Amino acid sequence: FVEVATPTIISRQMLAKMTIDDEHELFSQVFWLDKNKCLRPMLAPNLYYVSKDLLRLWKEPMRIFEIGSCFRKESQGSTHLNEFTMLNLVEWGVPMEERTAHLAEFAKLVMETAGLPDYELEQEDSVVYGDTMDVTYHGIEVASSAMGPHPLDGAWGITTTWAGIGFGLERLLMLREGGRNVKSYGRSITYLDGTRLNL
């Protein structure tokens, strides 16, 4: 995999290409900076944008990844944060019949590296990607995946096959450490490595 690093601030137009408009249920969770710019709620728009150019320059198959902050107004509950860190892995040009196997390979790579080998793969329905394969650990979703060709691809000029998966890193850390609240493991001025500082 080749690492990419993309901007945290994205345009309304980039979100619209992901079908996230003011009628979409994710739209109300977006942190808007002004009427045309927001803090990215996911890494995918930038990865699509970068990939369309890299696919012109590099031969397939092409594997890229990004680790970056995302922002959503979804701080309710013990598994959600307003600011969280995503790890996205995408392979472009993967053969159609191998896409699911490649996603399972990516899930195994990350989960075993995180020290969480006892995970499950489950079919799920995503508000952005439709049918997805999620990675769960003891009933908690830690990753979601998608495959292409996908209806979203045309907006980006993408015509190749692909497989991609995104992990919430704070959730992985919480589960590895046996924590009960992801807020203890996110960016914080109250917690350090899961330990409360203002006791």
pLDDT, position 195: 83
pLDDT, position 128: 64
What 8-state DSSP symbol labels residue 31? -
**Which tens digits make up the pLDDT trace of 168-185?**
999 999 999 999 899 899
CB atoms under 10 Å from CB of 171, counted, come to: 24
pLDDT, position 198: 81
> Which residue, among 37, 38, 65, has the nearest Cα to 51 in the 3D structure?
65
Chain CA centroid to CA 21, Å:
19
Which residues of the chain fall below pLDDT 50?
A: none
pLDDT, position 193: 77
What 8-state DSSP symbol labels residue 155? G
* Radius of gyration of the chain, Cα coordinates, nearest whole angstrom: 17
Tokens of 115: 């020290």
pLDDT, position 126: 66
Query: Which residues, including other chains, have CB under 8 Å from residue 81's CB and lie 6 or more apart?
Result: 74, 75, 170, 182, 183, 186
pLDDT, position 75: 62
Question: CA-to-CA distance for 70 and 170, rounded, in angstroms?
Answer: 12
Indicate the CATH number for domain 2-196: 3.30.930.10
